[in-house]
Amino acid sequence: MILRISATAILPLIVLPAFAQSLGNSRTGDTLTRITQPDTVIVTAFNSASRWKEAPAAVFVADQQALARTGQPSLVPALNAVAGVRMEERSPGSYRLSLRGSLLRSPFGVRNLKVYWNDIPLTDAGGNTYFNLVDISQLQSLEIIKGPAASMYGANTGGVVLLHSDDNSVLPAKHSWQAGVTGGAYGLFHENAGYRYADTGVNIQVSQVHYQRDGYREQSRFRKDGVQATGTIRLNRAQQLSVMGLYTNLMYQTPGGITLQQMQTNPRLARQKTATLPSAADQQAAIYNSTVLGGISLQSAISRHVSNTTVITLNHTNFRNPFITNYEKRNEWNYGGRTAFHYFVQQGIAQWHVTAGAEWMHNTTGDDNYDNNAGTTGNVQYKDKLKATQSFAFVQGEARLANAWVLQAGISRNLLTYHYQRVTDNTPEQQREMGSLWAPRISLLYKILASVSVYGIASRGFSPPSLAEVRPSDGNYYGDLQPEHGWNYELGVKGFLWDNRIQFDVNGYYFRLQDAIVRRTNETGAEYFVNAGGTSQKGVEVFVRARLASWISVFNSFSYQPYTFTNYSVDNKNYSDNHLTGVPRTVNVSGLDISIPHGWYATVQLNQTSSIPLADDNSVFAARYQLLQAKAGYTHYCKNFNWNVFLAGDNLLNQVYSLGNDINALGGRYYNPAPGRNLSVGMAVRWR
C-alpha cells in the first residue's frame, strides 16, 4: 500500500512537475495563469504583504485564469486541485469546503473555517458561510491559508480563504467592458457581464451574473442571479475608501442521498420515499437564499510608520428550506466590523511590523419551522429566536532580519455568546458564554538559498459550535456543545528552481483535534451534533509546477491524509483508530497546459481520489475515482478588443462517482452521484 501511494505521488512529480496555476506566456488570455514572473506573486495573508516564497505560512494563491482553467463555471475543480483542500458539490449549488480537515460537521454549508471577501467577513457570527453566494466571474484572485489561523482571524481550525474582486496589478483603460456565456449538458447556462471605470484616484466595477442548471439528477435544478459593485476612491494622500455591495438570489433543489444499489441501477434518482417518509421530489426539497451584503473599508496612513484599516459590514439573508420532515424559514441579520493598526519601521538590516486590532460580529436569526405540505408551509411546529455574538482582539509581531529570517508571532483572545429562546413555548431565554479562548501562533522562515526557504509553524485553532449546530434541523437546542480545539505543528520547504521554471511547496503537519464536533442523524434523517473524542490529523502536501518550454507547462498536487479518530466511542462502540469519516486517504491531481502561437490553447486535469469512509465504524467506503477534465480554445487579440471561445469536457472517463457524500446516513443513503461525461462551450469578450 505504501509503495502504491509513493508511486502515485512521485511518478507525476517526475513526469508532470508543476502546480495548479498554469504557466505560459502572457498572451494565453483566459486559459493560463500569468506567471512569467512567478516570484512576484504577493501574499496578503497575516498582513504579510510579502512574496510567496518569503511568507512564513502554508498559503496557496490563484488568479482568475487559474480558477477558470477547466472551463467549468464553478470553483470546485480549481479548489480541488489544491493540496489539502476538498470542495464537494452534492448537487448544483450545494457546496461543502474543507481545509485540511474533515467534513464531519458539514451536512451542508461551509463551517470550521473563515472566509473574507475584499477584507469583509463573509463568515457570520454564527459560524456559517454561504459560499454559494460567490460566483467565479466575480473573483480576480484568492488566497487559501491552510491550517489554524485563529491568531489573527478568529474562530477556525481548518484555515482561512481570502477572496479578492479587484486586480490592482493590472492598469486598466479608463472604460472597459467584459461579457461571457457558457452553455452545456444538463441545462447548463452561465452568463456574466461587467463594466469598469478607472481614473486617477477612482476605480469602480459593476458586474452581473446569471447561472442555471437543470441538474443531472431528479430534483436538482439550480438557479442564481447576482449583481455586485465594488469601488475604491482616493480621498486624499493619506486615505482611501473602498466599498462593496452584493445581491444574490439563488435556488437549488436538494435531491438527497441514495443507496449504493440505487446509484448502480439509476444514478439520476433523487431520495426515494419510504414506508414512513415522503420522497425529496414529493416534498419539493430545496434551498432558497436571498442575500444583500454591504461593506465599507477605510485605509488611513496616520503617520510615516503607522496606518489603520477599518471595515464595517451589514448583511441580511432570507432563507427558506422545504425539507423531508419540515419547512424552515430563517430571517438573518448580520453586522459587525474589524479594525487593525499597523506599525512598520526599518532599522538597518531589520524590518519590524506590528499589527493589533479587533473584530466584532453579531447575528440575529428568527428560525421558524412548519409542516411541509408538498413544498408549501403547513402548521407551525415551533419558532425560535437565536442570537450570536463573536468578538476577538489580536496582536501580531513580525521581524525580517538580514533578508534571510522571518519570524511571526501572534495571539488572539476570543469571546462568544449565544442566546436562544423558543418563542412558541414562551420559554425564558437561555444564554451560553464561551469566553477567554486564546489562540496563539508562531512561525519561522529561513531562506536557505536565494529562492528556497524552509518554514515551521506552531498554532492553536478552535471552532465553537455554529448556530446551525446549537439549534440543528432536528429542532432541539444543544447548549452544552463545547468548542473543538487543537494544536497544529508544521514543517515545510518551498521556493523556485531553475531560473523560476520550477515552483514547489512540500510540507508535513500534525494537528490533534480535541472535543471534535461530529454529526448524527435521527430516524427521520434530521441531523444533530455531539462532542465525541478527538482526531489525529497527520498529513503531507506536495505541489510542484514546471514550465518545460515557453508553450507548455505541467503541474502536480498531492495530499496524503491518514486521519484517524482518537478516544471516540458512541453507544458503547469504540471507533478509536478508525479512518476519519469523509476524508480520502490520498488525492493526486495532475495537469497539462499548452499554449501555441496564434492563440490556440488546451488544458487537461486528472483528479485521482482514493476511497472515502462513509461511516464512523468504517463499514462502508465510497469507491475511488478518476475525474478527467479538459478544455481547448482559441483567443484572438486586437488593440482594444479580444475574444475567446472554448470547448470543455467534464468526467471524460464517464466515472460513476459521488462528488459529495452524506456521511453516517441512515438507510445507507450515502451517495449523491455526479454527472456522467458531459461537454460545454463558451465565449468571452473584452473591450475598452
Rama region for 31: left / alpha / beta (φ>0; ψ in -120 to 50; rest): alpha
Residue 5 has a pLDDT of 41
Three cell numbers written together for 446? 529561513
Helices and strands, number each (H, E), in the chain: 6, 38
Three cell numbers written together for 313? 459590514
Report how far apart, in Å, the C-alpha atoms of 177 and of each of 434, 633, 639, 685, 687 are: 49, 21, 14, 8, 5
Domain locations in the chain? 2-15+47-687
Reduce the DSSP state of residue 303 to 3 states and report it.
coil
Question: In sequence order, what are the residues at sequence separation of 6 or more whose Cβ sits closer than 8 angstroms to the Cβ of residue 666?
Answer: 521, 523, 525
DSSP for residue 21: S
416: closest CA among 459, 367, 465?
465
Degrees (nearest 5) of the Cα angle 415, 420, 426?
Answer: 155
End-to-end CA gap in the chain: 56
Residue 3 has a pLDDT of 38
Mean pLDDT, consecutive 10-residue segments, the chain of 688 residues?
41 36 33 48 89 94 89 94 95 93 65 91 92 94 96 94 76 85 98 94 95 97 98 95 97 97 97 94 98 98 97 98 96 97 95 97 96 97 94 97 96 94 90 89 97 97 84 80 93 95 97 86 75 91 95 97 90 90 96 93 98 95 98 92 96 96 91 97 94
Phi and psi, residue 38, nearest 5°: -65, -25
**Residues composing the chain:** 688
Q: Are 383 and 368 in contact (CB under 8 A)?
A: yes
Q: Are 665 and 521 in contact (CB under 8 A)?
A: yes
Three cell numbers written together for 323? 425539507
The domain covering 2-15+47-687 belongs, at the CATH homologous superfamily level, to TonB-dependent receptor, beta-barrel domain (2.40.170.20)
Three cell numbers written together for 595? 499554449
